[in-house]
Amino acid sequence: MHKLTVGAVRDRRISVIVARSIPLPKGTTKREPHWLRAEQLGKLADAMPPNCRPVVLFLGLAGCRFSEMCALRVDDVVQTPHGLGVRIHRAAPQSKRTSGAIFGPTKTHQTRTVPVPPTLETYVRDRIENAPSGSYLFPSPTGAIWTNTNFRVRSRWTETTQSVGLAGTTIHDLRHTAASLLIAAGADVKAVQMILGHATATMTMDLYGHLFSEAPRVAMERMPMFPEKPASRGDRE
């Protein structure tokens, strides 16, 4: 359409492109990242059904996208020099048309290895020792792949989050939770970027930069103090 109107102006069929004077609509306001404290994450996980608890802990500690977690199989567990890890090299988002899982590359089309959180090491070892090759690492109760819809139903997500005082918490908030916990544990920007699978460290800083540094708070605490001025008699009347 842009080329057509530019051509029409060039051919003197119209004198001006009126659309250029129309301001573009502003995008919708993005929801600020929300994360849980460690004790809140534990409380939420403990309130979940048995098949849902490992999912909540993995998302809240490893920070994978839900679609990446869904696609993980026991074959993706690897032994690294530093311990167990999982290779994140595919994703299975839910189709808006069919509601089924669609396998494809990760969001950034990159592969990364994420360390297995210590609290899930026993669970992961049990899966790779006892589950058949090709089985999902985090299966649904029927052994099938999770989708956002069936996880929300099985976990009774809305009711469960409300029951532990975390109403309004989304599944994606668990990814933000992992980022905040990693930073609190001393992870640097590059480590958080690699674990979460951000395309660049800049993206990580844009989202979580304020959590890496106490400089703004330290600076504010060093601002000069001024004693409170006593109210004059006239002010009190």
Question: Any idea which residue has 């959180």 for tokens?
Answer: 117
User: Residue ranges of the alpha helices (H) in the chain?
Assistant: 2-10, 38-46, 53-62, 66-71, 121-130, 148-155, 157-163, 173-184, 189-196, 201-212, 215-221, 233-236
Q: Tell me the average pLDDT of the chain.
A: 86
pTM: 0.77
Rg (CA), the chain: 25
Length of the chain: 237
Question: In whole angstroms, what is the distance from residue 52 CA to residue 141 CA?
Answer: 9
The amino acid that residue 17 corresponds to is I
SS3 state of residue 223: coil
Q: What is the pLDDT along the chain (237 residues), one digit of tens a residue?
A: 555 554 555 666 566 555 555 555 555 556 677 889 999 999 999 999 999 999 999 999 999 999 999 999 999 999 999 899 999 999 999 999 999 999 999 998 999 999 999 999 999 999 999 999 999 999 999 999 999 999 999 999 999 999 999 999 999 999 999 998 998 888 888 888 999 998 888 888 877 777 777 666 667 677 777 777 676 665 555
Question: In whole angstroms, what is the distance from residue 128 CA to residue 151 CA?
Answer: 22
Question: In whole angstroms, what is the distance from residue 94 CA to residue 68 CA?
Answer: 11
Output the pLDDT for position 227: 78
Please, what's the b/e burial string for 41-71 (b: 16 or more CB within 10 A of its CB; e: otherwise)?
bbebbebbeebbbbbbbbbbbbbbbbbbbbb
Question: Any idea which residue has 């800049």 for tokens?
Answer: 202
State both tokens at 129: 């020792």
Tell how far CA 117 is from the center of its chain: 16
Question: Any idea which residue has 């951000």 for tokens?
Answer: 198
Question: In whole angstroms, what is the distance from residue 155 CA to residue 161 CA?
Answer: 10
Listed in order, strand segments (DSSP E) in 76-143 are 77-80, 83-88, 112-115
